[in-house]
Amino acid sequence: MGLLGQSTIAWSLFAYLVAAIPVGLVIGRLRGVDIRQIGSGNIGATNAVRALGRKWGLIVFALDVLKAFTPVALAARADALGGLPEPEAAIAIVGAAATLGHIYPIYLGFRGGKGVACALGVFFAIVPFAGLLAVVLYLQTLILTRVSAIGSLTAVNAATLHILLSDAPGAYQALALGLSLLIWWRHRSNLHEVIAAAKARKRDAS
């Protein structure tokens, strides 16, 4: 196995293990709360807001972003994977590993969050404007709809569309599309709830 393969495996493993740290669960336990027993039972930032309050939920969100951003950004440095002739594919693999670490953490029997905050961290690392766009669209959609899931999916769609339409490397475009599809899949229960709520409102209005 060449240096590219060895380096990519090492950085991907590092990214996975760091991003797999269940920040929401750890902070909840430190505050005497198991967030898996509250609300949706998810370990991500949205349920952390329900279980711990907005301040601690935002801290969980920020740490979830950082735990994906940090290994990808480090891997992209000039003296790491960034020093390879064509590093984009390797960096994309590291980004995928980080997001999968949060969604399928080895520390919790591979039952983790939905990946939005970690995907955001990856976007900030590979295409910073896409990450910024995602934050703006999430906040705007959340204000308009009051539904975090819709804000999350809108943010991921916006970031992915920007990357696909930009001159970003093909590996980054493939990563963005893959993360977007995975996050939509992880939100399928939320979508069912949103659709059911919309139908209920329509019945009540008729």
* pLDDT of amino acid 85: 72
Amino acid at 22: P
pLDDT tens digits, 166-178: 999 999 999 999 9
What average pLDDT does this structure show over 133-142?
93
* pLDDT of amino acid 119: 96
What average pLDDT does this structure show over 109-136?
95
Q: What are phi and psi of 86, to 5 degrees?
A: -135, 85
Tell whether the model's pLDDT for residue 84 goes beyond 60: yes
Tokens of 55: 């301040």
Q: Are 141 and 155 in contact (CB under 8 A)?
A: yes
Q: What percent of the chain has pLDDT over 90?
A: 75
Query: What is the DSSP code string of 78-147?
Result: TTTGGGSSS-HHHHHHHHHHHHHHHHS-GGGTT----SHHHHHHHHHHH-HHHHHHHHHHHHHHHHHH--
**How far is 137 from 24, CA to CA, in rounded Å?**
23
Q: Measured between alpha carbons, how far is residue 95 from residues 21, 32, 72, 156, 172 in Å?
A: 15, 32, 6, 15, 9
- Poorest-pLDDT segment among 66-80, 92-106, 116-130: 66-80
Dihedral, 189, 193, 195, 199 alpha carbons, nearest 10: 150
Tell whether the model's pLDDT for residue 1 goes beyond 60: no
* pLDDT of amino acid 5: 61
Tokens of 119: 């995907």
Provide the pLDDT confidence category of residue 3 given band limits of 50, 70 and 90: very low
* pLDDT of amino acid 123: 97
* pLDDT of amino acid 206: 67
Q: What is the pTM of this model?
A: 0.90
What average pLDDT does this structure show over 21-49?
92
Q: What are phi and psi of 33, to 5 degrees?
A: -130, 135
**How far is 60 from 57, CA to CA, in rounded Å?**
5
What average pLDDT does this structure show over 95-106?
97
What average pLDDT does this structure show over 136-161?
93
